[in-house]
A and B are shown apart, each in its own frame.
Chain A
Amino acid sequence: MTEVECPECGADVSLYDDLETGEIIDCGTCGAELEVIDVNPPVLERAPELEEDWGE
């Protein structure tokens, strides 16, 4: 398990080894939804807000 800095609050965010680009991670400290932009090395950005046409 690796740790990276939350781009929203700066706290450490723990990442599992099977991380996928495009996955969403919740920051355990500030609750921000973070999108995995890259996995090697891990890069997180604040995830896009919910759009009206999202779903199944």
Chain B
Amino acid sequence: MHVGILYSRIRRDEKLLLSELRDRGHDVTKIDVREHRFGLDGTTAPVEDVDLVVDRCLATSRSLYATRFLESYGVPVVNSAETAEICADKAKNSLALAEAGVPTPQTEVAFTKEAALEAIESFGYPCVLKPVVGSWGRLMAKIDSRNAAEAILEHKATLGHYEHKVFYVQEFVEKPGRDIRVLAADGEPVAAMTRSSDHWLTNAAKGGETDAFELDDEALELVAAASDAVGGGLLGVDLMETGESYTVHEVNHTVEFKALSEAADVDVPAAVVDWLEARAASAGDEVAEVTP
């Protein structure tokens, strides 16, 4: 197969993926999204001959627009623009999970400091304030008091980009010092790990310790349902243990898997390329159906 890798930075994840693709003899075209233009009728990006483009853009804004343009030219992209749009925005992510009946933390969005403070007070302390766009635990606030709430809201309203005036307020989930990251391909788990920390943020990017995790039947069902809720694809599904069950707090669409490769006894790049091969084959079949 011929794969286009859409990127703006080659992380260890992309390097593992490139290595696996090349080792299997696939053609790979690296497409630096910063170097290209995307028009209504076509692009300077070399996508004419690719079977599939894999979106690995580090910048969410680029991921959202590039995937949308590529799909408009009929180029198969994973993950889809629809999945990117839902996953890139925490409010849309929460809505999609709730609409699909997937347990997810209680969340409210407010557009003024006053309304956000009401939301915070209704949740009680502590609760969590997150930016709607962002990753790696950046700009997340665990709010322990009204004084802190007022200060953080004023800072966000005064200093922030307009997206920071979309106040995303969420209940604080008392997790057991860890959360669970599952890499799933169309709802089928590839690997799972826990991320543990004494800090309330347990992201691997924040230095959380990782360990392999075995999913039980309930978690398997939730991962599949969460994947369906956002349109499927290669996803990072994040769950927290609530004692008797789980809650899914978000699904990531340009998932990093280097930490999973190290924590779980699974050849993650190989599993990802297995899935890409299957996706490319099915994309080819769809093209054949419409062009007899």
The count of chain B contact residues (Cβ–Cβ below 8 Å) is 30
Contacts of A47 in B (CB 8 A): 9
Cβ A55 vs Cβ B58 within 8 A: yes
Q: Which residues of B contact A29 (CB under 8 A)?
A: none
Complex-state Cα separation, A35 to B58, whole angstroms: 14
* Contact status of A53 and B252, CB under 8 A, knowing A20-B10, A22-B32, A24-B9: no
**Interface set, chain B 229-267, CB cutoff 8 A to A:** 236, 252-256
Within 8 A of A (CB), among B3-41: 7-11, 14-15, 18-19, 30, 32
Interface centre among B30, B60, B131, by most A CB within 10 Å? B60
A53→B10 CA distance, assembly (Å): 16
Q: A53-B59, A53-B61, A56-B254 are in contact. Are A23 and B135 (CB under 8 A)?
A: no
Interface string of A33-45 (1 = CB under 8 A from B): 0011000000000
CB distance from B63 to the nearest CB of A (A): 9
Question: What is the interface of chain B, defined by CB distance below 8 A to chain A?
Answer: 7-11, 14-15, 18-19, 30, 32, 58-61, 131, 133-136, 138-139, 161, 205, 236, 252-256
Show the binding face of A for B, using Cβ within 8 Å. 18, 20-24, 35-36, 47, 51-56
